[in-house]
Amino acid sequence: MSDFYEEDLLSYTIYVEVSADRYNPAFSWSVCKDNIEYDSGLAFSKDDAIAEAKAAATKLSSE
């Protein structure tokens, strides 16, 4: 499994990657559109980060 994940969902792009903090391993995620970051966060696993990013994109698209 790669440490990077990218997906287009509901006109947003989801990015997930390993956090740069080597003392607190986690995955950072962001939801972007047209080079603007609309939401972001941290999760302890890659699967959780993907799920959180998808939920954020879904919420953004319904607003």
Divide the 63 residues of the chain into consecutive groups of 10 and give the mean pLDDT of each group.
87 94 90 97 95 97 91
| Distances from the Cα of 21 to the Cα of 9, 39, 52, angstroms | 27, 19, 19
pTM of this structure: 0.89
Which pLDDT belongs to residue 35?
93
Residue recorded with tokens 């919420």: 59
Residues 6+ apart with CB under 8 A from 42: 19, 26, 27, 28, 29, 49
Beta carbons of 14 and 29 less than 8 angstroms apart? yes
